[in-house]
């Protein structure tokens, strides 16, 4: 760590740029690897941000890093309303349901 203290600002900026590029590449690689686990029609569960309960739905479309998941909409009593909500869910947040 003391060796980095002797670097000038331009050298540190170059290092920061390279580290950020490497992190972006690894995140994209991990997302693509996670997408290979799923296919259209799979039943999956996920927990949306700011929601206490898990949602269960079916993958309708697969994109590079996220999938469109259809979830049936229910009323306050738990009865299906016949419509489908669509969520754009990262593969890393999904789990296959049997």
Please give the Cα distance from 20 to 13 (Å, whole number): 10
Q: What φ, ψ does residue 34 adopt, rounded to 5°?
A: -65, -30
pLDDT of residue 55: 87
6-52 tens-digit pLDDT: 999 999 999 999 999 999 999 888 888 888 889 999 999 998 877 77
46-80 tens-digit pLDDT: 988 777 788 899 999 999 889 999 998 776 676 76
pLDDT of residue 5: 84
pLDDT of residue 52: 75
Taking the model in full, what pTM does it have? Answer: 0.66
What range does the domain containing 18 cover? 4-96
Contact 33, 65 (CB under 8 A): no
Contact 31, 92 (CB under 8 A): yes
Per the structure, the count of domains in the chain is 1
Contact 15, 5 (CB under 8 A): no
Q: To 10 degrees, the CA torsion angle through 90, 88, 97, 74?
A: 150
The CATH number given to whatever domain includes residue 26 is 2.30.30.140
| CA atoms 15, 21, 27, 29: torsion sign | negative
């Amino acid at each position: 760590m003391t060796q980095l203290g002797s670097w000038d600002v331009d050298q540190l900026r170059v290092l920061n740029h390279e580290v950020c590029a490497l992190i972006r590449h690894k995140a994209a690689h991990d997302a693509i690897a996670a997408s290979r686990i799923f296919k259209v029609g799979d039943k999956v569960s996920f927990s949306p941000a700011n929601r206490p309960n898990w949602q269960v739905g079916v993958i309708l479309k697969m994109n590079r890093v996220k999938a469109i998941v259809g979830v049936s909409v229910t009323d306050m009593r738990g009865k299906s309303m016949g419509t489908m909500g669509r969520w754009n869910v990262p593969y890393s947040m999904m789990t296959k349901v049997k």
